[in-house]
Amino acid sequence: MREIVLDTETTGLDPKTGDRLVEIGCVELANQFPTGRSYHVYINPERAMPREAFEVHGLSEAFLADKPRFDDVADAFLAFIGDGRLVIHNAQFDMGFINFELKRSGRGTIAGDRVVDTLQLARRKHPGAPASLDALCARYGIDTSKRVKHGALLDAELLAEVYIELNGGRQANLGLVSAAASGARQRAIGRTVQPRPAALPSRLTADAVAAHRAFIASLGGHALWTRYLEQEEPPAAAGGSL
């Protein structure tokens, strides 16, 4: 199953009052494991950057001035997400901006049934506990040391790890592998493995041993095989062939 973990940064809280997208970050998952594919873009919001928003993500008007507009990147964004399921933390916020921008550019919007909200997922799994991205990273021991400010791609990468943990992906897979391996061993063996009381007799014939020693001798006294030959006990002759 293909899923896209997505995060955005914006100029504010509400697109209906003039706020716009300034960054989109996406990470692709296949069967809840990262594939290594990602999508990231900065967007010129075509408006001033409020100080409150700048303090959150650090994206200034000057930095965004030469970046593409949403209309310029919309097709590439839609191509990357394809028909995959979208995984978003507090999805109502991000999808509100994304669908506003899509509609504004004359494109179709994304249906809500394609979206998994990890905020709701976390609240169901850990009722009463803090459910912010930072809190969930702390709960699951996910390193956030690089997260000095909010950034769409970094936050999407962190959310991908959180999402896997919320679904029990790592623990479930490890447990499944362990149980399957243990079961396979038990079925194959059927009993506790006991050491042999004595080593099996050599299946080499005396002629084969002599031919091997003659070959080693032909390599010269410094050949590596000579060291092993000196440690060997001459085997008892065995009848038959190899």
What is the set of domains in the chain, with CATH numbers? 2-172 (3.30.420.10), 200-233 (no CATH)
User: Measured between alpha carbons, how far is 228 from 232 in angstroms, rounded to an integer?
Assistant: 7
Which pLDDT tens digit goes with each residue over 130-152?
999 999 999 999 999 888 788 99
Q: At 6, which helix (H) or strand (E)?
A: strand 2-10
pLDDT exceeds 80 at position 184:
no
CB contact at 8 A, 235 and 199: no
Distance CA 105, CA 21 (A): 13
Q: In terms of pTM, does the model score above 0.75?
A: no
Banded pLDDT at 180 (limits 50, 70, 90): very low
Which residue, among 24, 32, 14, has the nearest Cα to 116 in the 3D structure?
32
Known catalytic residue: 150?
yes
Q: Stretch 165-175: mean pLDDT, rounded?
A: 65
| Secondary structure element (H or E) that encloses residue 143, with its range | none
Q: Which candidate in 57, 89, 126, 150 is catalytic?
A: 150
**In the block, residue with structure tokens 């362990």:** 178
CA angle 206–211–217, rounded 5-degree value? 125
Task: Report d(CA 38, CA 4) in Å as an integer.
Answer: 9
**185-215 tens-digit pLDDT:** 444 434 445 566 676 677 778 888 788 788 7
Q: Which two tokens stand for residue 4?
A: 């896209």
Q: Coil, strand, or helix at residue 144?
A: coil
Cβ atoms of 20 and 63 closer than 8 Å: no
